[in-house]
Amino acid sequence: MQMTSLLPRDFFARDTLQVARGLLGQVLVRLLDGQRLSGRIVEVEAYIGEDDLASHARFGRTARNAAMYGPPGHAYVYQIYGLHHCLNIVTGPEGFPAAVLIRALEPLEGLEGMQARRGVADPALLTSGPARLCQAMAIDRRLDKADMCAPDAVLFVEIGAPVPDEDIVTGPRVGVQGDLRARTVPWRFYVRNHPCVSRGRTTDDRPRTTDDRPRTKKDDAR
DNA sequence: GGATCGATCGGCT
DNA sequence: GCCGATCGATCCG
């Protein structure tokens, strides 16, 4: 049976930016072989609608991104570069493709198993990236479309300690290229100065101010 | 510390 | 055929 601290579907059915912001501080839990693996969410990104040219939904519905069009509170897990996996949680109303990418956790439970799967010992390297946390928590495409709000879920989110506004930083999403708006819209949220936030950190963790040139010239090179 | 590159393969315009 | 919501190793300064 599930704890009452499980985040309900209504939480995920809201506006995607609200969900993304609200997921910081909550606890992602993975049940594996009767063991609890968990981590506090410290970095997320929002992908919203087919008009978001950084979203997998930008070309419309396909077999891969079908979960994004499904009901909120379900997992969207995809494979990238042939070897990595990334976990999203579907948001907003069913039929509208939107999701929050979980980019980094602060590991809480099951550190030994995470270290074994990751091949590293440093807690700051266990789950500080979208593919790293999937490897640490044994998340792959078998969990695509899994209902994270079901009573028997093996992957879900529990209520954690809220993160105050002054500790939240927003900025452009990591790894997004091409379209100017997609590159610059501040849909990345992370906990200020947290050691487990992934690379792509800004030069200095300031609340917002102007853009601080996430990357220099690298597009014109090739 | 920053830049560059290879791994590796499913899904796609 | 091409390319990616990444990572880790390597090279350079």
- pLDDT tens digits, A121-169: 999 999 999 999 999 999 999 999 999 999 999 999 999 999 999 999 9
Q: What share of chain A in percent tops pLDDT 90?
A: 86
Give the closest nucleotide to A129 (alpha carbon vs C1').
Answer: C6
Is the pLDDT at A217 greater than 90? The verdict is: no
Strand B close to A82 by CB, under 7 A: yes
* DSSP classification of residue A218: -
Strand B close to A81 by CB, under 7 A: yes
Whole-number Å distance between alpha carbons of A147 and A92: 15
Q: Which residue is nearest to nucleotide B4 (CA to C1')?
A: A218
For position A209, what pLDDT does the model report? 32
CA nearest neighbour of A57 among A13, A99, A19, A11: A99
For position A178, what pLDDT does the model report? 83
Is the pLDDT at A219 greater than 60? The verdict is: no
CA-to-C1' span, A9 to C1 (A): 41
For position A215, what pLDDT does the model report? 34
Strand C close to A14 by CB, under 7 A: no
Strand B close to A193 by CB, under 7 A: no
Average pLDDT over residues A62-79: 98
Average pLDDT over residues A17-39: 97
Write down the pTM of the prediction: 0.90
Give the closest nucleotide to A58 (alpha carbon vs C1').
Answer: B13
Strand C close to A120 by CB, under 7 A: yes
Of the listed ranges A3-12, A17-26, A123-132, A142-151, the one predicted with least confidence: A3-12
Strand C close to A174 by CB, under 7 A: yes
Strand B close to A79 by CB, under 7 A: yes
pLDDT in tens, A169-209: 999 999 998 889 999 999 999 999 999 999 765 434 433 33
Is the pLDDT at A115 greater than 90? The verdict is: yes
Which nucleotides of chain B have an atom under 7 angstroms from any protein CB? 3-4, 7-13
For position A46, what pLDDT does the model report? 98
Mean pLDDT of chain A: 90
CA-to-C1' span, A57 to B13 (A): 12
| Burial class for A201, CB neighbours closer than 10 Å (0-12, 13-18, 19+) | middle
For position A4, what pLDDT does the model report? 59
Give the closest nucleotide to A120 (alpha carbon vs C1').
Answer: C8
Strands (E), chain A: 27-32, 35-48, 75-80, 84-90, 98-109, 155-158, 168-171, 188-191
Whole-number Å distance between alpha carbons of A203 and A221: 23
Q: Which fold has domain A9-221?
A: 3-methyladenine DNA Glycosylase; Chain A (3.10.300)
Is the pLDDT at A210 greater than 60? The verdict is: no
What residue ranges do the domains of chain A occupy? 9-221
For position A203, what pLDDT does the model report? 36
Strand B close to A5 by CB, under 7 A: no
For position A196, what pLDDT does the model report? 96
